[in-house]
Amino acid sequence: MTQPISQSALYRLMTFLSPAFPVGAFTYSHGLEQAIEAGDVTDILSFTDWLQDVLQFGAGRTDAILLKETHAACHIGDVKRIEELQTLGLAMQPSKERYLETSAQGTAFINAVAQSWAPADGKTAGRTFLDMTAKSSGPWPYPVAAGLTCAAHGIPVLPATTAFLHAFAANIVSAAVRAVPFGQNQGQGVLAELEPLVFQIADRAQTCGLDDLGTSTFLADIASMAHETQYSRLFRS
């Protein structure tokens, strides 16, 4: 399934999910730092397996569904639904640090968009964004913030979901390059290998609903809990 995207929408999508967008993504490892410390991730092969599982069975899949649901709710101006998704996205976090990871990035994302990229209020989605950000200062889970923003800027949901998953994976790859470690070219090789999986997760999310939410990445969740007391840390999660 393909969804056309305008030049303006593409520009904004690349901006919103660029490493340069001020959400502080580089400070989070999603528990990877603890997995390295524990010896569960030791090289590029074990890291690739770890990241594939997180994408397919963990936060990657769940975040894709939350983004899609928020995008749809924004288009019809369903403020109550968005508020429920905002609460749900925070409640689903398995640890204090994962709550910080999604809420700090999501709230920073919304604030940056509101200050520099506020949408026009001529369409329902734009008005919904402005109404939601006027009445709520956060905290915002990151995928809900991204879904709300992309809908308000006319960015189709499938490209938005795909780009969000790529940004998520790329940030963890960047953390792995610094902490495993391995070279930047090897890191790009991981992203290339993950391309079909990212497409698959993004496509499947379009036919999922809230009843499909859930994860089974217990070791990654436990790693995020253990990271809270790890003695020496580079990352906030």
With respect to residue 21, please indicate whether it lies within any of the assigned structural domains: no
Q: Count the domains in the chain.
A: 1
Q: Are 85 and 79 in contact (CB under 8 A)?
A: no
| CATH number, residue 147 | 1.10.4190.10
The whole-model pTM stands at: 0.96
With respect to residue 22, please indicate whether it lies within any of the assigned structural domains: no
With respect to residue 72, please indicate whether it lies within any of the assigned structural domains: yes
With respect to residue 234, please indicate whether it lies within any of the assigned structural domains: no
Tens of pLDDT along the chain (237 residues)?
A: 567 899 999 999 999 999 999 999 999 999 999 999 999 999 999 999 999 999 999 999 999 999 999 999 999 999 999 999 999 999 999 999 999 999 999 999 999 999 999 988 778 999 999 998 888 777 999 999 999 999 999 999 999 999 999 999 999 999 999 999 999 999 999 999 999 999 999 999 999 999 999 999 999 999 999 999 888 888 989
With respect to residue 60, please indicate whether it lies within any of the assigned structural domains: yes
Q: 64: how many CB neighbours lie within 10 A of its CB?
A: 28
With respect to residue 147, please indicate whether it lies within any of the assigned structural domains: yes
Those residues with Cβ within 8 angstroms of residue 8's Cβ, 6 or more apart along the chain or in another chain:
154
For residue 42, what are the domain limits?
A: 7-16+27-229
